[in-house]
């Protein structure tokens, strides 16, 4: 079904139909005719042809590293909230943490095209920079700092430092501090957060020994493996800090598995369970990200709350400013954090922000 056919069936010109569709001048009589034909045929105008003409899709593409993540869904929720009130729609592309796929999808969005792109950043390679410099649609990066695009990021260093202090404090008289980080290619999580953590430890008079350090991928399974390895080799860990709550969940799983091995009978039979604190070993796990599911089913581990929803909101606002008002001044926004050391009263704070 094309606009031409509709025009023929209604006995008008295609321009009249176009105007009808877009709120231009059409006489009441023709309006009726056109409406009728459209209803009968179920005609849907081709968006792509319109975009080809108008250069405006009212659409933004969001590239995310993975789908199943509370932090990312908070960011996209923030994005979506401002987009929808401003008449835009949002399309997502998930890269499964593959930087190559990231480029592919960025280019797809660019040429599809969308009016703008939001990249929830992980690793910024030279090719990424290349793209950011020459993209023909505006791009905003969320979650990483970059000079090559407008960006919104979080104070990972500060958060790491705060957590480092806390870890040192908790470890005192209990054991050593261990840390499970991620690839340093991720500047925010792998570098800033980790360096901040080390600085925090040192500020508290402690430190992170190399043998108590591992790197994991951004998955629970990977966290499980890293924690297992740590627990097998080191018997004096007092605090096991993880770069994300997801990794921390894997670490908790590892602790539970160890504990089960040690006291298989009594524990299993009584059904007693310890959450993140193991009665025997007394190891404390910490994370980053303030995962709500984790908090709900355990007592809540010490973690850091980032304003993910806020960063999504700001990111979308920034993007729309560039799209609609051609904002030229480069912008970098750094958002703060909040250390969450235990479960708090649900009613006081909106954790989804």
Residues forming the site for DNA (CB under 7 A): 2-4, 12-16, 18-19, 21-22, 24-27, 29-30, 45-46, 49-50, 52-54
Q: Which does 253 bind (CB under 5 to 8 A by kind): a copy of itself, DNA, none?
A: a copy of itself
Q: Which does 3 bind (CB under 5 to 8 A by kind): DNA, a copy of itself, none?
A: DNA
Shortest distance in whole angstroms from residue 107 CB to a copy of itself? 6
Shortest distance in whole angstroms from residue 23 CB to a copy of itself? 18
Determine contact, residues 255/263, Cβ cutoff 8 Å: no
Q: Which does 18 bind (CB under 5 to 8 A by kind): a copy of itself, DNA, none?
A: DNA
Shortest distance in whole angstroms from residue 27 CB to a copy of itself? 27
Determine contact, residues 223/255, Cβ cutoff 8 Å: no
DSSP state, residue 210: G
Q: Nearer to DNA by C-beta: 29 or 39?
A: 29
Q: How many CA atoms lie within 13 A of 198 on its CB side?
A: 12
DSSP state, residue 11: T
Shortest distance in whole angstroms from residue 30 CB to DNA? 4
User: How far from 282 is each of 23, 193, 251, 287, CA to CA, in Å?
Assistant: 68, 25, 14, 17
Q: Nearer to DNA by C-beta: 55 or 325?
A: 55
DSSP state, residue 338: E
- Catalog residues that contact a copy of itself under the rule CB under 8 A: 1, 42, 44-49, 51-52, 59, 66-70, 72-73, 76-77, 80, 89-94, 96, 104-105, 107-108, 110-113, 134, 136, 220, 224, 246, 249-250, 252-253, 256, 270-277, 279, 291-294, 296-299
Shortest distance in whole angstroms from residue 306 CB to DNA? 40
Q: Which does 125 bind (CB under 5 to 8 A by kind): a copy of itself, DNA, none?
A: none
Q: Nearer to a copy of itself by C-beta: 1 or 331?
A: 1
Shortest distance in whole angstroms from residue 19 CB to a copy of itself? 19
Q: Nearer to DNA by C-beta: 236 or 324?
A: 324
Shortest distance in whole angstroms from residue 43 CB to DNA? 7
Q: Which does 91 bind (CB under 5 to 8 A by kind): a copy of itself, DNA, none?
A: a copy of itself
User: How far from 320 is each of 50, 115, 198, 254, CA to CA, in Å?
Assistant: 20, 9, 38, 45
Determine contact, residues 257/228, Cβ cutoff 8 Å: yes
Shortest distance in whole angstroms from residue 94 CB to DNA? 26
Q: Nearer to a copy of itself by C-beta: 44 or 85?
A: 44
Determine contact, residues 51/113, Cβ cutoff 8 Å: yes
Give the count of beta carbons closer than 10 Å to the beta carbon of residue 262: 11
Give the count of beta carbons closer than 10 Å to the beta carbon of residue 76: 24
Q: Nearer to a copy of itself by C-beta: 7 or 301?
A: 301
Contacts of residues 317-320 at CB distance under 8 Å and 24 or more positions apart, as own/partner, are 317/82, 318/140, 318/150, 318/152, 319/60, 319/116, 319/117, 319/118, 319/138, 319/140, 319/150, 320/82, 320/83, 320/86, 320/88, 320/116
């Amino acid at each position: 079904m094309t606009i031409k056919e509709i025009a023929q069936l209604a006995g008008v010109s295609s321009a009249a139909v176009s105007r009808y569709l877009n709120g231009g001048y059409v006489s009441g009589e023709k309006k009726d005719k056109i409406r009728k034909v459209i209803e009968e045929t179920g005609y849907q105008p081709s968006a792509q042809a319109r975009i080809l003409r108008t250069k405006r899709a009212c659409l933004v593409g969001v590239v995310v590293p993975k789908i199943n993540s509370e932090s990312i869904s908070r960011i996209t929720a923030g994005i979506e909230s401002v987009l929808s009130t401003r008449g835009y729609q949002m399309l997502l592309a998930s890269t499964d943490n593959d930087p190559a796929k990231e480029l592919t999808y960025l280019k797809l969005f660019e040429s599809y095209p969308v009016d703008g792109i939001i990249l929830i950043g992980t690793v910024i390679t030279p090719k990424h920079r290349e793209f950011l410099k020459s993209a023909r649609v505006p791009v905003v990066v969320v979650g990483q700092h970059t000079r090559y695009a407008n960006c919104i990021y979080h104070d990972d260093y500060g958060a790491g430092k705060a957590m480092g202090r806390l870890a040192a404090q908790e470890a005192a008289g209990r054991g050593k501090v261990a840390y499970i980080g991620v690839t340093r290619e991720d500047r925010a999580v792998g570098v800033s957060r980790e360096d901040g953590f080390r600085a925090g430890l040192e500020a508290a008079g402690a430190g992170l020994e190399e043998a108590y350090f591992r790197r994991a991928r951004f998955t629970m399974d990977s966290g499980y493996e890293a924690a297992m390895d740590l627990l097998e080799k080191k018997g004096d860990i007092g605090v096991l800090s993880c770069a994300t709550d997801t990794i921390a969940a894997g670490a908790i799983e590892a602790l539970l598995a160890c504990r089960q091995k040690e006291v298989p009978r009594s524990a299993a039979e009584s059904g007693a369970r310890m959450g993140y604190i193991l009665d025997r070993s007394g190891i404390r796990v910490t994370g980053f990200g303030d995962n709500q599911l984790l908090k709900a089913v355990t007592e809540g581990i010490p973690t850091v709350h980032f304003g993910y929803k806020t960063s999504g909101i700001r990111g979308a606002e920034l993007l729309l400013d560039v799209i609609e008002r051609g904002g030229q001044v480069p912008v970098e926004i750094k958002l703060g954090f909040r250390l969450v050391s235990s479960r708090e009263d649900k009613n006081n704070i909106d954790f989804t922000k």
